[in-house]
Copies of this chain bind each other. A is one copy, B any other.
Amino acid sequence: MDEQLRREVNLLHANLCQALADPTRILILYALAESPRHVSGLAELLDAPQSTVSRHLKVLRDRRLVTTSRDGAAVHYALADPRVIDALDTLRAVLTSALSQQAALAQSLS
């Protein structure tokens, strides 16, 4: 198979898809898309310890999906690229189609 595409997909996966491979991180991205927040705010929002949130943020940070800026003692997190949300919304649309299709199928069988 095409080595070029292979490398590119590996890059894509390693850099982005893996970051989306955890529901908590997707929630963080949506939360940040709504409005930038501090770590403590996210922790409260997600009802998780700071250490857990911080580690998820590190994953997103390393892949440059979020940007950071100091705000006094706190750290401000914001979405780096809104297109990530676009992509997720596209996937949600796909999911909606698949589910309704599935529902129609189930109905036709009942």
**Copies of this chain, tallied across the complex:** 2
- Contacting residue for A26 out of B12, B46, B65, B90, CB 8 A: B12
Q: How far, in angstroms, from A1 to B5 measured CA to CA in the complex?
A: 39
Q: How far, in angstroms, from A14 to B20 measured CA to CA in the complex?
A: 11
Asked if A17 is at the interface of the complex by the 8 Å CB criterion, the answer is yes
Closest B residue to A20 by CB, please name it.
Answer: B17
Asked if A87 is at the interface of the complex by the 8 Å CB criterion, the answer is yes
- Contacting residue for A98 out of B9, B15, B92, B93, CB 8 A: B15
For the residues of A in contact with B, the DSSP-based class is: helix
Chain B residues positioned under 8 Å from A99 (CB to CB):
15
**Tally of contact residues, A, Cβ under 8 A:** 46
- Contacting residue for A20 out of B15, B20, B31, CB 8 A: B20
Chain B residues positioned under 8 Å from A90 (CB to CB):
83, 86-87, 90
Decide if B81 touches A17 in the complex (CB within 8 Å): no
Pick the 6 closest A-B CB pairs, nearest first.
Answer: A21-B21, A13-B23, A87-B90, A64-B98, A87-B87, A1-B45
